[in-house]
Amino acid sequence: MNFTATLGIALLALRVNKMRSALTMLGIIIGVAAVIIMIAVGNGAQARVEEQIKSLGSNIIMVLNGSTTSSGARGGYGSQLTITEDDAYAMNREVDGIQAAAPSLRGSGQVVIGNANWSTTLYGTTPEYLAVREWPIVDGRGFEPSEMNGASKVVLLGQTVALNLFGESSPIDQVVRVNKVPLTVIGVLDRKGQNMMGQDQDDILLMPISTARKRVLGSTRYAKSRSVGSIMVKIRDGANMAEAENSMRELLRQRHRLQKGQDDDFYVRNLSEILEAQEASSKVMTLLLAAVASVSLLVGGIGIMNIMLVSVTERTREIGLRMAVGARSRDILTQFLVEAVTLSLIGGAIGILLGIGGSMLIAELADWRTELSSASIVLAAGFAGVVGVFFGYYPAKKASRLLPIEALRYE
């Protein structure tokens, strides 16, 4: 008997028992859909982390102020002002591998123009900050050396601030008041989006660090010294970050006159390592979700095997009759195997459609990012076919080994 005839007989058998066929496919449908949805959710989370890494900038190291100790009680990082603008300039000059180091002061304030106002984060920094963050200016220009030296009243606006104060109009050359100080807008930053903590990075206003210290944040603890809140450092591509970090530590210890055995009075955080660890965790989570979802495929395969075994029992006389009129064991094996694989593939196709629809529905209703991948769809479909062959082989083999006389006598 040729394969075409065997396929026709197998499909006819499936059509005759529609309800049983549908119930048999249910496990495969759920399994395939679950695999696609879980991988889509995992890929979405991983893509989100990659965006956060890109928005932060690559090869970033953050230097923060140290802690204080009073009566044996130690304060948190930043409780003692230990790093300065000059530390950042020294790192730019003396540490190999550093592309740029940007000191910054941070505060908050109300930005006002006319009847519009907006509360935002204020940063006093240097032009190197934009290079470190890989943050281009989409409208206007950046700070000039004369503006940095002269504490000029100029600012750059993030997209969120610009939108809430000016709408669709250009803010360039407009004067805004920040903590009652008039400042001229000279540029607008490109959009960055949310960071890893869910905070809006575009809700920001940048000004020269000298302007922040002398004019806008003058009442803060930074005003009467060259202390800064943090120094953000970008390491050159291809440079060894560990070596650069060690060189930075040695330089800062020398500049702060720390003796051997003394603890650092500053804190260094390698942000790239933190985000890379988070990215690795999201990849592991994606694999875990896929593995958990794959269990339902195995359950579906076991369901196919059970139903096929029942089918063999119910159709024992049919099998005996076919053998009596000339069907070989190989033909019986092929027929039942084709039935199992067909059920798996049809279930897989329906599962793929449900998986795609489910992923889109989750993204729409739950506001979770999902990313469908052709690899996951192919994997789920291929796995469904393998399940059909694997779990369908035993019932098919059992059917092919029946003796015609005993099969015809079966009641």
Averaged confidence pLDDT in the chain: 81
**What DSSP line would sit under 332-343, residue for residue?**
HHHHHHHHHHHH
Residue 71 has what pLDDT?
44
Report the amino acid identity of residue 235.
Answer: I
**pLDDT tens digits, one per residue of 91-132:** 999 998 899 999 999 999 999 998 999 999 999 999 999 998
Residue 285 has what pLDDT?
72
Q: Which of 350, 393, 334 has the alpha carbon at shortest distance from 8?
A: 334
Residue 61 has what pLDDT?
86
- Quick one: what percent of the chain has pLDDT higher than 70? 82
Residues 6+ apart with CB under 8 A from 347: 24, 25, 26, 27, 28, 29, 32, 300, 384
Report the amino acid identity of residue 232.
Answer: M
Residue 73 has what pLDDT?
46
**pLDDT tens digits, one per residue of 351-384:** 889 988 988 888 888 777 788 878 778 877 787 7
Average pLDDT over residues 52-56: 61
Q: Which of 150, 86, 157 has the alpha carbon at shortest distance from 122?
A: 157
Confidence of residue 88 (pLDDT cuts 50, 70, 90): very high
Q: List b or e across 296-322, with b for residues whose CB sees 16 or more CB atoms inside 10 angstroms.
A: bbeebbebbbebbeebbeebbebbbeb
Confidence of residue 165 (pLDDT cuts 50, 70, 90): very high
Model pTM score: 0.61
**pLDDT tens digits, one per residue of 6-25:** 667 667 767 777 777 777 77
Q: Alpha-carbon distance 373 to 36, whole Å? A: 8
Whether pLDDT at 338 is above 70: yes
